[in-house]
Amino acid sequence: METNLAVLIDGDNIPSAHIKEMMEELAKYGNPTIKRIYGDWTKPHLNKWKNVLLENAIHPIQQYGYTQGKNATDSAMIIDAMDILYSNKVQGFCIVSSDSDFTRLATRLREASMKVIGIGEKKTPDPFIVACDKFIYIEILKAQSKEGTEQEEKQKGGKKQANLDKITPKVIRLISQTINDVADEEGWAFLGDVGSLLQKKQPNFDSRNYGFQKLTPMINSIPSFEIESRENTNSRFKLIYVRNR
């Protein structure tokens, strides 16, 4: 059974440029049956969203700012999220924002056995990131778009993007410890189990942050690890196992 998702977007906090890539990414995790964006649509800075909303069937929710310096949009999103939760129409939520104010909302939704996916910029505070089951950086989705890649290659002479994260000793230790956590007596661990546990330990862990489309080539690029392909009697796809050298 496919997971139905409610997608709630903080229009005041997220750029409109890559909403198409966001929706394509979310299709991997379920069916976005509810798509809403919140903001004060009388403000000129939200004008860029208008055409994008029509193209992606996203319903705009008007929320006036009642008091200077206070964000009424956050409150509206939280109230709607709880209404949707109790409607029992979805099995998961996607909160699109870089605002840590949604940390408690994400925690509460997970307490209700909802899958919570966060999407935001790299400036997103850690508390919100770790409150989600998975957190995806907009910068990575931007880099995946064909137009964005072509522009970056022209600007940088075809070189790799400068904003990619480095595979630091800390990252290698995280992967190594995770392999040990799920390894058999010979030290081999099924890569699918390793990836799932990495996601639980660090919701924003994504091989694309380091320039790799999949986890397998990322781990294969690190000399500390050894990869082995095994035949799968139930499928034409081979099983990938990994261990520490």
| Per-residue confidence (pLDDT) for residue 145, from 0 to 100 | 63
Query: By the 8 A CB rule, do 60 and 37 touch?
Result: yes
Q: Which fold has domain 169-244?
A: Nucleotidyltransferase; domain 5 (3.30.420)
| Per-residue confidence (pLDDT) for residue 153, from 0 to 100 | 52
Task: Give the residue range(s) of CATH 3.30.420.610 domains in the chain.
Answer: 169-244
Q: Tell me the mean pLDDT in the region 54-59.
A: 88
| Per-residue confidence (pLDDT) for residue 65, from 0 to 100 | 64
With a CB cutoff of 8 Å and minimum separation 6, the contacts of 208 are 140, 143, 144
Task: Give the residue range(s) of CATH 3.40.50.1010 domains in the chain.
Answer: 4-147
Q: Which has more confidence, 111 or 153?
A: 111
Query: By the 8 A CB rule, do 182 and 237 touch?
Result: no
| Per-residue confidence (pLDDT) for residue 2, from 0 to 100 | 81
Q: Tell me the mean pLDDT in the region 182-195.
A: 93
Taking phi first (over 0 means left), then psi (-120 to 50 degrees means alpha), and beta for anything else, what does residue 59 get? beta
For residue 208, pLDDT over 50 is answered with yes
Cβ-count burial 170-191 (b if 16+ within 10 Å, e if not):
ebbeebbebbeebbeeeebbbb
Q: How far apart are CA 34 and CA 30, in angstroms?
A: 11
Q: Which has more confidence, 179 or 43?
A: 179
Predicted confidence band at 62 (pLDDT cuts at 50, 70, 90)? confident
Least confident of 10-14, 78-82, 84-88: 10-14
Collapsed DSSP state (helix, strand, coil) of residue 62: strand
Q: Tell me the mean pLDDT in the region 48-77.
A: 77
Q: Tell me the mean pLDDT in the region 22-27.
A: 90
Q: Tell me the mean pLDDT in the region 119-139.
A: 94
Q: Which fold has domain 4-147?
A: Rossmann fold (3.40.50)
Q: What does the pLDDT look like over 91-117, one tens digit per residue?
A: 999 999 998 999 999 999 999 999 999
| Per-residue confidence (pLDDT) for residue 159, from 0 to 100 | 47
Mean pLDDT over each residue of the chain, to the nearest integer: 86
Q: How far apart are CA 180 and CA 93, in angstroms?
A: 32
Q: Tell me the mean pLDDT in the region 75-80.
A: 91
Q: Tell me the mean pLDDT in the region 119-144.
A: 91
| Per-residue confidence (pLDDT) for residue 70, from 0 to 100 | 45
| Per-residue confidence (pLDDT) for residue 73, from 0 to 100 | 79
19-26 helix and 49-56 helix, angle to the nearest 10 degrees: 30
Q: Which has more confidence, 107 or 153?
A: 107
103-111 helix and 72-87 helix, angle to the nearest 10 degrees: 10
User: Helices marked H in the chain — which ranges?
Assistant: 19-26, 49-56, 72-87, 103-111, 126-131, 138-144, 146-156, 169-182, 191-201, 215-220
